[in-house]
């Protein structure tokens, strides 16, 4: 997991971003009743807190993607 707040996941394209978001979207929605992952994404452009939340959730997604690739080397995901 990334440990420095200045280190963050930078997807190479929109397909990778969509894949990473898909790995955490349901968990975010479950843990934040009354709002959605997309709500948080919309607010991140003007909210430092939501920008940080998004960065943290993408870091979790990157770790999940890494674990999935390790479990199945033939997986063609971002």
- Comparing CA positions, the residue from 68, 33, 37 lying closest to residue 54 is 37
pLDDT per residue over 22-63, tens digit each?
Answer: 999 999 999 999 999 999 999 999 999 999 999 999 999 999
> Residue 13: what pLDDT?
93
pLDDT score for 36? 96
Question: What is the pLDDT at residue 48?
Answer: 95
Q: Do 20 and 61 form a contact (C-beta atoms < 8 A)?
A: yes
């Amino acid at each position: 997991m990334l440990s420095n707040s200045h280190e963050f996941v930078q997807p190479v394209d929109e397909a990778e971003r969509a894949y990473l978001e898909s790995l955490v979207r349901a968990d975010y929605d479950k843990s934040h009743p009354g709002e959605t992952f997309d709500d948080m994404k919309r607010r991140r452009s003007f909210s430092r807190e939501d920008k940080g939340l998004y960065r943290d959730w993408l870091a979790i997604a990157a770790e999940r993607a890494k674990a999935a690739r390790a479990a199945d080397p033939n997986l063609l995901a971002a």
